[in-house]
Structure 1
């Protein structure tokens, strides 16, 4: 049996060159809307594209949400403002409550203890170191520096039934004439019980006191008339004792206007008047 060999179908190089070339497949997007979006995202010619980190992008609400954003911002502001007003109102209420409670406690203490301001007076005044004379011969000696000494007898009367008084250190007593300080001293420290009257003597001294000619002449005239006005100022820190409770330090200020007949050791008080002021703080 004769074998027949059929030539395989093949394309020669000439046929390939003669055959027309098939156009290459053009890739087109499957979705036309995507193509439009891509074209929109492309920057126009002559522009630059700047990349900013995502955490630095500040977003602006769209127009349809602008009213909602404004309403939310207004509510937040009102809420914060309301919280501040509430805190202020609570603070004012607590302060008012504290003041009312303090006033109520003061009223209760007043009616329970019935505090009274103590009475003070100067019962005696002995003067040394003054040599006042109206003669011209002794005028130069009189205008020299003086060192007067006063021995004052002071009476302190505590009329309170349930309040004691602690007289503390840091006090001062000064005697002056027509605004010129003559001598000074201190108030003794002691405790004065309820319904107690204490009389004590205190020494007041001055050094290097120089009087003007007019002041010296006024003193000479006053002594010749038998009326020498003096001013005594007392300032003493005290603490009050209410039963088992002791207060903070309170300053008592006493002013006494005393008139003596002469500035000698046996001087006599003609008139006297004292006023008391209390400084609670």
Structure 2
């Protein structure tokens, strides 16, 4: 007969401490290699570039630049406000007005066709300048220019002498103008043809540099620029020419 294995019962002592479970195989292998319990090694990757973060921009320099820009804009605005307020106060106090000009008479001293077919012209113009301001004087400076034009052709030119015009002053100026045009024959024929109608259009252009005087304060130079459109009846030499119509417009140019 074959022997049967016998199973013997195991008697468990209730007072004995509980047995500790066997550690897993991985723990036993680490213990045999001398590695401490609970410590794992993390495999390292080689030849992997480490990302480098760019440096943050300097905040202090940017904030200083913003402050400088804000201060500059503020100063410019304040300066503009001060200038505008000053101009407004001066305008209310002095109430400036442009001077007025009128052409009283025109005389042609010479209008001759030369041998080279150029036209020589000499005009005498009488102009009245009126300063309507009560507290503003006008200095007429050097470098003025008066010229007489027929359509787009300059006939002659001259200048106003330097002088000072006081408050509400009326000054009469006699200005001599002279000039020479190379297209004399064509120009003279056009003037003679226009003279037959009894209405010859002429333009008197004026450019005068002036300085403004506010009481005792003399300001910078400006230019009075304008045109007087005239209609005369003839261009006869050495005789008083009748001005049938005259319209003058003037303005200031800085």
The reply to whether TM is greater than 0.5 is yes
Select the residue among 113, 136, 144 that pairs with 1:171: 144
Which one of the candidate residues 79, 82, 99 is aligned to 1:101?
Answer: 82
Mapping for residues 1-281 of structure 1, pairs under 5 Å? 73-74=55-56, 77-130=58-111, 144-211=117-184, 213=186, 215-264=187-236, 265-280=239-254
Once residues 251 and 116 of structure 2 are traced to their aligned partners in structure 1, the CA distance between those partners, rounded to angstroms, is 36
Distance 1:158 1:89 in 2: 46
Quote the Cα distance in structure 1 between the aligned partners of 2:114 and 2:207: 34
2:131–2:168: 8 Å Cα contact kept in structure 1? yes
Q: Deviations over 1:141-175 (max 9, x none)?
A: 89932221100001111100100000000111111
SS in 1 for 2:227: strand
Residues 165-202 of structure 1 show CA distances to partners (whole Å, capped at 9, x for unaligned) of: 00000111111111111111001110000111111101
SS of 2:111's partner is coil
The TM-score with structure 1 as length reference comes to 0.67
Rounded Cα–Cα distance in structure 2 between residues aligned with 1:180 and 1:144: 16
Deviation digits for residues 107-146 of structure 1, max 9, x if unmatched? 0000000000111111111013236xxxxxxxx9899322
Structure 1 contact 143–210 (Cα < 8 Å) conserved: no
Q: Is this contact kept in 2: 1:154–1:201, CA < 8 A?
A: yes
Contact 1:165 1:193 in 2 (8 A): yes
Q: How many residues align?
A: 203
Instruction: Answer yes or no: is the 8 Å Cα contact 2:204–2:230 preserved in 1.
Output: yes
Contact 1:122-1:154 within 8 A present in 2 as well? yes
| Structure 2: tracts of 5 or more residues without a match | 1-49
Alpha carbons of structure 1 residues 122 and 142: separation in structure 2 relative to 1, 3 Å: farther
Q: Is the 8 A contact 2:119 2:185 kept in 1?
A: no
| Aligned-partner Cα distance in 2 for 1:77–1:273 | 68
Q: Secondary structure at the match of 1:111?
A: helix
Summarize the Cα distance change of 1:128–1:210 in structure 2 as closer, same or farther, 3 Å threshold.
farther
Instruction: Name the CA distance, whole Å, in 1 between partners of 2:163 and 2:188.
Output: 38
3-state SS of 2:220 partner:
coil
- The SS at the match of 1:99 is helix
Residues 125 and 174, structure 2, Cα contact 8 Å, conserved in 1: yes
State the TM-score, normalizing by the size of structure 2. 0.74
The structure with the largest helix share of the pair is 1
Q: In 1, distance between residues paired with 2:124 and 2:189?
A: 24
How far apart are the structure 2 equivalents of 1:95 and 1:227? 56
